[in-house]
A = this chain, B = another copy of it.
Amino acid sequence: MPKVSAEHLTNRRRQILDAAAGCFARNGFHRTSMQDIVKESGLSAGLIYRYFTGKEDMILAIVAEWHTTRSAGLGTADDPLAAYLGLLRAIADPAAAQQRNLGMQAWAETVREPRIRALARQGVDDQIEAFGAVAPEPLIRVLVAVYQGLLLQASWDDSLDVEAFVAAVGELVRRRV
């Protein structure tokens, strides 16, 4: 007999995850203290532990969500190439800075946490499956690699010419097809 609605619980969880995502994106997982998240969320320390078993659990949730977001709506496009180039533009967008930062943090964690590594690998495999009908695995892997590398470069270089990058990719791929 819960005292609050399921919606309330969902909102609270969202509130915590948003605060955590903000902190993590700004300072990395390990330079972010639970206290930072407490402050950013406006909640209390104790309450956060009713939603997550600990910091590790929160990191895992953030990373899982990151990959889920990335895989959403995959392979449903009429024009796969155009859709892919759209993804490139999206990840390089200035507004996606938080997403990029979280991504880089998540990748670093793959080194020491098997579950995060599994999520990362699954993320790539999802792409391979989604585009399996229109391209062979190695090519998809290359395109995923391009996406990953663009994420990095866009993060480091505000003046990166995204359109030129996308155009170069388009040219490489179109000739092939």
A interface list, Cβ under 8 A from B: 25-31, 101, 104-105, 107-112, 117, 120-121, 124, 136-139, 141-142, 144-150, 152-153, 155-157, 160-161, 164-165, 167-169, 171-173, 175-176
B176 adjacent to A124 (CB under 8 Å):
no
In the complex the two chains form, what is the Cα distance from A25 to B112 in whole Å? 9
This chain's copy number in the assembly: 4
B28 adjacent to A120 (CB under 8 Å):
no
Which residues of B are found within 8 Å of A29, using beta-carbon distances?
Answer: 30
Partner of A152, one of B27, B107, B157: B107
Which residues of B are found within 8 Å of A107, using beta-carbon distances?
Answer: 104, 107-108, 152
Q: Chain A interface mostly helix, strand, loop or mixed?
A: helix
A175 to chain B, nearest CB (A): 5
A111 adjacent to B28 (CB under 8 Å):
yes
Which residues of B are found within 8 Å of A157, using beta-carbon distances?
Answer: 121, 124
A70 to chain B, nearest CB (A): 13
Which residues of B are found within 8 Å of A104, using beta-carbon distances?
Answer: 107-108, 110-111
